[in-house]
Amino acid sequence: MCGRFVQSLSPAEYAQSLNLDLFDSTPIGRYNVAPTTGVHVIHQVGDRYRDSVIPWGWKPQWATGGRPGPINARLETVATKPFFRPIWKSGRCLVGADGWYEWKTDPDDKKRKQPYFICLKSGDPLLFACIGQLPHGDEEPGASDGFVILTGAADAGLVDVHDRKPLVLSPDFALSWLSSDTSADDALHIAEHQELPAEAFEWYPVSRDVGNVRNKGPHLIEPIDDPLL
């Protein structure tokens, strides 16, 4: 499960990986992005692309109760689950990231966990396939806007094979994912068959400081020499 990630580059740098020459060149500088916080999201508006900041997490208006909405959606059920029906066909978007964190748990002591940072071996930005309720035209994000990250099958974990991993697309397929010309069926095919393979990634242990959302800064992605696990 993807529960924390890094978005340190500028919106322009993430867009450049898609050969899009637009967006703000100011670095975002976030090394511990947590659920419910505002995140830069790339989406299509008419015949152009837009960078919007909307919360990580979403639920439909009919979902009552005080609990926040989910932050991830399972690829296996996202196209058919009524919960995500309002955003599946028309809410495709991308989140640019440097990498994400995953925790390895001691099987003999569930409270003993070691975080790892996962990124591309190439050093290129990651492009998470997402769906969300998104702003239209030039309007500001609304109170109901938000997004979820699609996650791969249970055997797709990297650090721990039991973990789910975010769906990461290559730039070419990421653009097709974004395009309004891509049907919902074709988008599902992309998600099911075109995610980057495990061999494209590398990972290493990092400080347990990342477990506290108040901790920020580039030291969080520096490798450590004495991991717990």
Element (H, E) at 172: helix 171-178
| Catalytic-residue membership of 102 | yes
CA angle 141, 3, 134 (to 5 degrees): 20
Catalytic residue among 102, 119, 130, 195: 102
Residue 90's Cβ-count burial label (10 Å; 0-12, 13-18, 19+) is: exposed
DSSP string, 95-120: EEESEEEEEEEETTEEEEEEEEEEEE
Q: Which residues contact 190 (CB under 8 A, 6 or more apart)?
A: 129, 169, 173, 176, 177, 182
Which two tokens mark 224? Answer: 């450590």
Q: Catalytic residue numbers?
A: 2, 102
